[in-house]
Amino acid sequence: MRRVGVPRGVVVLAVLAGLLAGTSPALAQPTPPPNPSDDELRRSQEAVQQQAGEVGRLTGRLAELDAQAEELAIVLVGERENAEAAYVDLENAEAAAADAADAAADARVQTDAASRAIDEARLRLDEFVAATYVDGLDAGPLGLLTSAETPEDLVARAEFTDLLAREQLAAQDALERARVERANADSTARALLQAAEDREAEAARAKEAADAAYAVAEAAAREQAELLAAVDAERRQVEGRLAELEASDAGLRDQRARYDEWQRVLAEQEAARQRAEREAAAAREAAASAGSGGGSAPAIAAGSGAVRRVIDRAMSQIGVQYVWGGGNGRGPSTGIPGPAGDPGDRVGFDCSGLMLYAFNGVGVSLPRVSRNQYNAGRKVPISELQPGDMVFYRNGGRPIHHVAMYIGDGRMIEAPYTGADVRVVPLRRKGLLPQATRML
């Protein structure tokens, strides 16, 4: 047998791939962190915005109430000032009433004095009249002439008569003045007392009205303060709820950030692992091709070694882009040009093209499209899957539209769709046909 030389780097890669292949991805993958859904994040943000809007509304309401409270405080100060002025007026009125009462008392004293003066004037007049009557004095001119005995007596009698007349006039005048003074004193006392009583009553009414207005203003201010306190308490509650929602929202977004970071790290790890698997598979495939001489299409092989080579050939193409209609037994190729296909200038694999290349390495020739590949080999239940089996997918009752290769450990390799690359993913169950196709 001819010995074929294998590069040392290829052997190292093969050993590395063997070590990696012995690691189960199910055991290596850590438990993912919580990942809130987009709907949860949206609802959380909406709740935060709603509560923030409510805080804004209540803040505006508080500003209005503050302005109203300030206006009421100004009104209250005015009413308090009015009440204080009314109290001062009442004190002044009470003092004026007291002064009027004193003036009335003085007037009563004057009235009493006038009454006594009247009594005295009346007494003197009565005495004069009585004396005149008792003495029978004739104060007329004829009486004076007939009663006088001498000229001197006549003069004396005339002077006496004049004196009596003056006394009588004085008594009458005093009596009249006393009457007038008493009347004036009575009138003044009554007027002063009435004015004082009227002023006191008016001041009392003004104070009562001022007290009532102040009480109303004070009640309004108290009610406004209570309303302010209630709205402020409501705002504090809403702010507390907003803080809770913001914390919850921040927590959800932090969870999403941690999950995204976990996915990024996991994707990097998976990419590194797949690169290592691809390089190891490529090394094994290179060694196998070198061992077979790299000639024309090999004869159909069987056994675990053939299955390993089929998987290695597929794995060696990890990272090659998807191209509709691309790929054949020799490797990636341009796809089907046209409006519904590839523009014709890209090279890669579609799902069935990857299967063509993988199985061609062991001499198995497959038909081109996935639905035809389904009928190319022996059917086995999905429950009996083995590495190297082809698995197929369809949507409902529609025809088969996709094929992938099961590689073990719950994973499969596929060329998925335009915009993606050949990749290794967990075996999908959605749309999976209950039977696989086994070629080896």
Q: Which of 217, 236, 251 is the last residue of a domain?
A: 251
What's the domain range around 83?
45-251
435 strand-pairing partners? 381
Q: Which residue has the tokens 């719950």?
A: 410
Are residue 311 and residue 433 in the same domain, yes or no?
yes
Residue 258 lies in a domain: no
437 strand-pairing partners? 379, 390
What pLDDT, in 10s, does the model give residues 192-214? 888 888 988 988 888 888 889 88
Q: What is the pTM of this model?
A: 0.50
CATH of residue 220 = 1.10.287
Q: What is the CA radius of gyration of the chain?
A: 65
Looking at every residue in the chain, the average pLDDT score rounds to 82
Are residue 237 and residue 322 in the same domain, yes or no?
no
Residue 261 lies in a domain: no
Residue 20 lies in a domain: no
Residue 160 lies in a domain: yes
CA dihedral of 255, 257, 263, 264, whole degrees rounded to 10: -160
Are residue 193 and residue 305 in the same domain, yes or no?
no
Asked if 351 is an active-site residue, the reply is: yes
Neighbours of 393 (CB within 10 A): 18
Percent of the chain with pLDDT strictly greater than 90: 35
Residue 216 lies in a domain: yes
Asked if 414 is an active-site residue, the reply is: yes
Are residue 239 and residue 315 in the same domain, yes or no?
no
d(CA 363, CA 407): 19
| Strands of the 378-381 sheet, one edge to the other | 378-381, 435-438, 390-393, 402-408, 411-414, 423-426
**Residue range 42-48: mean pLDDT, rounded:** 91
Q: Which residues, 6+ apart, have CB-to-CB distance to 217 below 8 Å?
A: 72, 75, 76, 78, 79, 80
Neighbours of 348 (CB within 10 A): 25
What pLDDT, in 10s, does the model give residues 47-57? 999 988 988 98
Q: What was the pLDDT predicted at 407? A: 97
Total domains, the chain: 2
Are residue 217 and residue 70 in the same domain, yes or no?
yes
Residue 381 lies in a domain: yes
What pLDDT, in 10s, does the model give residues 370-420? 999 999 999 999 999 999 999 999 998 899 999 999 999 999 999 999 999
CATH of residue 363 = 3.90.1720.10
Catalytic residue among 79, 200, 277, 414: 414
Are residue 320 and residue 418 in the same domain, yes or no?
yes
DSSP per residue, 73-109: HHHHHHHHHHHHHHHHHHHHHHHHHHHHHHHHHHHHH
Catalytic residue among 200, 279, 285, 402: 402
Catalytic residue among 277, 279, 285, 351: 351
Are residue 219 and residue 102 in the same domain, yes or no?
yes
Are residue 236 and residue 316 in the same domain, yes or no?
no
Phi, psi (deg, nearest 5) at residue 348? 180, -155
Q: What was the pLDDT predicted at 135? A: 58
Q: Which of 195, 223, 251 is the last residue of a domain?
A: 251
- Given a cut of 80, is residue 352 above it in pLDDT? yes
Burial of 358 (0-12, 13-18, 19+ CB in 10 A): buried
Residue 226 lies in a domain: yes
